[in-house]
């Protein structure tokens, strides 16, 4: 079996660098899931064909001999570049010209003008919807300019299926360093000093977790990478595994060195087939290159990594449930202690870290704890990725230092809040839901709060996995609370009673409010049950399940009261509470709606405005569909 060493790594890095420095242009087509869904693979094929047609020489796999690369065009895919709303994205180096929403028809023009003649095609550039300004590339697009992309750094630049390119970005040097020049204790200390805390939700100091596992004596230990990213609204782990799988592997290798483990598992959600494929390929390539294997960097140590696909259970994101799932059992959590550090996978000491946490590790070992420490706040060090989605202009994946304010994220990076018609509205902001089904809401009041682990907990929310869903004024907060409750109720594994029954009752109480059957006592009961579930549940899923409800009650009490007492939903999202009326100014009296109404609730003379009898109306929406003048209001 081959063994990699430092000299060989250096050789690969230098050769690759000089080869890639010799090419005339590098075209990177984003092939993250978002851009693929928008058709980026067709753009890639079209570009390839266009280069061939133009007579320029092209290669897809960079050759190591730099003379062969001179004046050629290097075309490759990359992982997620983050700016999903504007995909498919095409980035052209070395000028850093970035084209957005590229179609296959644009390929020939891109090659002829930009690649061969250095002309910029204005119509493909990004235009800031807020002020109409054009941006040439990542260096001056506000979405990118205001970020600090460390963990996501190479994601979106490197070809995720090319191990040599990862090495050329100093990849695997940190792993080599940890195996050959550091003791296990030193590795743990470095991570502890860096202040890195778990990015999966809890925020436990990673270095301490490693130390706890390191000191346990055992014949076998495991490292697990938790890629079971189930929080609706979060996709950073997916992007990392798809965009830079080798970084995740390197992080796992360093974790293994730190605790003296020789085997690792990557547990990936079933819904992420591309991440599974790329992780598998990366592991194979690392094994082939002699980076993983039975003699890692000549240290005599062994490290093997397996990929395990989940089978669709949200609770498996909880560490003890995840380990049960790897063992082939129902994914149900276990009481702690014992902690995985003592008794984890197959009853052996185990370190289990989130994808993003592990992806930060190689950077810390490479650049030092102090370097990482300079970012962030006093208690939350480094940067955090957030999946910015919902009613915001620039949806996508972002990375900012801890301590960045919500205002900066939503308005400067996110480009502002959008109304339901997709237009930017200055007064549209209502709330941000952060941390998914375990998290809570932040409102206008919290706009200038520096986001970090402790500030968010104090506000009844949490960093969680980093899903950040922006909601505009047209969103009903009770519907949002119900949405999350429905989710956790479905995903509750059923092992402990407070979570199993409590979430069901909370959902039923929310349904009462939404359907107009509630009294003020319903809300008291809802809060009471919420506190019980929070206190008495076994695992993190149940303990945090009431958060979206409790947080919306705390922040939007009037909206709940309005639903309960006035039986009214001012955002018109609750069907049972809708006021359906016909706008007398818009109605021309064509009778189309009256003819469609299945319960004859609409009356009126021909050519005169009609009206709806609320006592008869069943809110089926047929009148709304039939009206050509948008006169039926309330849907």
Residues that bind other proteins (CB under 8 A): 33-34, 36-38, 84-85, 87, 229-235, 238, 269-273, 308-314, 325-332, 346, 387, 389-391, 395-397, 433, 436, 467, 469, 471, 475, 480, 483-484, 487, 490-491, 493
CA distance 440 to 462: 7
- Paired strand residues for 400: 384
Three-state secondary structure call for residue 267: strand
Q: Cβ 228 to other proteins, closest distance in Å?
A: 11
Q: Which is nearer to other proteins, 391 or 610 (CB)?
A: 391
Distances (CA, A) of 453 to 31, 202, 337, 456: 32, 9, 24, 6
Cβ contact 127:133 at 8 Å: yes
Q: Which is nearer to other proteins, 51 or 469 (CB)?
A: 469
Q: Which is nearer to other proteins, 371 or 635 (CB)?
A: 635
Q: Cβ 330 to other proteins, closest distance in Å?
A: 4
Q: Which is nearer to other proteins, 194 or 552 (CB)?
A: 552
Q: Cβ 222 to other proteins, closest distance in Å?
A: 12
286, 305, 312: which is closest to 297 by C-alpha? 286
Whether cis (ω within 30° of 0) applies to the bond prior to 338 is: yes
337 burial type by CB count under 10 A (0-12 exposed, 13-18 middle, 19+ buried): exposed
Centroid of chain to Cα 424 = 23
Q: Which is nearer to other proteins, 484 or 556 (CB)?
A: 484
Q: Cβ 390 to other proteins, closest distance in Å?
A: 5
Q: Which is nearer to other proteins, 121 or 274 (CB)?
A: 274
Q: Which is nearer to other proteins, 160 or 362 (CB)?
A: 160
211, 208, 214, 291: which is closest to 249 by C-alpha? 291
CA distance 516 to 565: 9
Q: Cβ 201 to other proteins, closest distance in Å?
A: 15
Q: Which is nearer to other proteins, 99 or 235 (CB)?
A: 235
CA distance 55 to 561: 70
Cβ contact 499:489 at 8 Å: no
CA distance 156 to 28: 8
Cβ contact 258:267 at 8 Å: no
Q: Which is nearer to other proteins, 87 or 171 (CB)?
A: 87
Cβ contact 235:35 at 8 Å: no
Q: Which is nearer to other proteins, 264 or 436 (CB)?
A: 436
Residue 588 phi, psi (nearest 5):
-105, 0
Q: Which is nearer to other proteins, 187 or 627 (CB)?
A: 627
Q: Cβ 56 to other proteins, closest distance in Å?
A: 32
Distances (CA, A) of 538 to 202, 203, 333, 397: 15, 19, 8, 32
Q: Cβ 163 to other proteins, closest distance in Å?
A: 24
Cβ contact 107:42 at 8 Å: no
CA distance 469 to 489: 21
Indicate the Cα dihedral angle 453, 454, 460, 462, nearest 10°. 10
CA distance 244 to 242: 6
CA distance 298 to 261: 16
Q: Cβ 475 to other proteins, closest distance in Å?
A: 6
Q: Cβ 83 to other proteins, closest distance in Å?
A: 8
CA distance 571 to 474: 5
195, 249, 203: which is closest to 358 by C-alpha? 249
Q: Cβ 332 to other proteins, closest distance in Å?
A: 8
Q: How is 554-571 classified by DSSP, letter by letter?
A: HH-HHHHHHHHHS---TT
Whether cis (ω within 30° of 0) applies to the bond prior to 472 is: no
How many CA atoms lie less than 13 Å away from 189 in the CB half-sphere? 5
Cβ contact 267:225 at 8 Å: yes
**37 Cβ contact list (under 8 Å, min separation 6):** none
Q: Which is nearer to other proteins, 92 or 470 (CB)?
A: 470
Q: Which is nearer to other proteins, 349 or 464 (CB)?
A: 464
Q: Which is nearer to other proteins, 202 or 232 (CB)?
A: 232
């Amino acid at each position: 079996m081959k063994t990699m060493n430092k000299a060989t790594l250096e050789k690969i890095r230098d050769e690759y660098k000089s080869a890639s420095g010799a090419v005339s242009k590098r075209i990177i087509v984003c092939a993250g899931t978002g851009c693929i869904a928008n058709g980026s693979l067709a753009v890639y094929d079209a570009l390839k064909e266009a280069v061939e047609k133009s007579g320029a020489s092209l290669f897809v796999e960079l050759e190591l001999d730099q003379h062969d690369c001179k004046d050629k065009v290097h075309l490759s895919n990359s992982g997620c570049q983050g700016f999903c709303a504007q995909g498919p994205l095409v980035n052209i180096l070395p000028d850093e010209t970035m084209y957005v929403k590229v179609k296959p028809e644009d390929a020939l023009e891109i090659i002829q003008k930009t690649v061969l003649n250095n002309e910029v095609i204005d119509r493909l550039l990004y235009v800031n919807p807020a002020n109409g300004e054009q941006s040439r590339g990542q260096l001056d697009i506000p979405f990118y300019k205001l970020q600090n992309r460390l963990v996501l750094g190479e994601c979106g630049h490197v070809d995720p299926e090319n191990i040599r390119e990862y090495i050329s970005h100093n990849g695997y040097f940190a792993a080599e360093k940890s195996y050959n020049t550091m003791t296990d204790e030193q590795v743990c200390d470095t991570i502890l000093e860096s202040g890195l805390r778990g990015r999966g939700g809890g925020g436990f100091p990673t270095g301490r977790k490693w130390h706890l596992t390191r000191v346990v004596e055992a014949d076998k230990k495991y490292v697990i990478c938790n890629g079971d990213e189930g929080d609706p609204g979060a996709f950073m782990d997916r992007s990392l595994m798809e965009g830079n799988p080798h970084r995740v592997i390197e992080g796992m290798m360093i974790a293994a060195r730190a605790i003296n483990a020789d085997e690792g598992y990557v547990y990936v959600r079933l819904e992420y087939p591309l991440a599974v494929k790329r992780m598998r390929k990366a592991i194979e390539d690392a094994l082939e290159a002699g980076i993983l294997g039975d003699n890692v960097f000549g240290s005599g140590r062994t490290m093997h990594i397996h990929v395990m696909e989940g089978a669709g259970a949200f609770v498996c994101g909880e560490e003890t449930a995840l380990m049960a799932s790897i063992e082939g059992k129902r994914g149900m959590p276990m009481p702690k202690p014992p902690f995985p550090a003592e008794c984890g996978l197959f009853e052996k000491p185990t370190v289990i870290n989130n994808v993003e946490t592990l992806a930060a590790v190689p950077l810390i070992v490479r650049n030092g704890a102090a370097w990482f420490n300079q970012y962030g706040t006093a208690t939350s060090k480094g940067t955090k990725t957030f999946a910015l989605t919902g009613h915001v202009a620039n949806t996508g994946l972002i990375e900012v230092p801890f301590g960045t304010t919500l205002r900066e994220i939503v308005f400067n990076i996110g480009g502002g809040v959008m109304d339901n018609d997709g237009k930017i509205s200055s007064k549209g902001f209502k709330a941000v839901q952060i941390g998914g089904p375990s998290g809570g809401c932040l409102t206008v009041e919290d706009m200038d709060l520096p986001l970090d682990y402790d500030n968010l907990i104090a506000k009844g929310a949490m960093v969680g996995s980093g899903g950040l869903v922006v909601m505009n004024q047209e969103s009903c907060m009770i519907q949002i609370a119900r949405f999350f409750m429905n989710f956790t109720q479905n995903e509750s594994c059923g092992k402990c009673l407070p979570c199993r029954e409590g979430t069901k009752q909370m959902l039923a109480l929310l349904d009462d409010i939404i359907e107009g059957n509630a009294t003020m006592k319903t809300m008291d009961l809802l809060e009471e049950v919420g506190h019980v579930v929070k206190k008495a549940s076994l695992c993190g899923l149940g303990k945090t399940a009431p958060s979206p409800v409790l947080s919306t009650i705390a922040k939007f009490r009037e909206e709940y009261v309005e639903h309960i007492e006035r039986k009214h939903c001012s955002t018109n999202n609750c069907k049972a509470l809708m006021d359906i009326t016909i706008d007398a100014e818009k109605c021309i009296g064509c009778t189309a709606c009256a003819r469609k109404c299945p319960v004859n609730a609409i009356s009126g003379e021909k050519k005169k405005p009609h009206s709806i009898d609320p006592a008869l109306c069943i809110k089926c929406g047929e009148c709304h569909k039939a009206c050509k003048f948008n006169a039926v209001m309330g849907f």
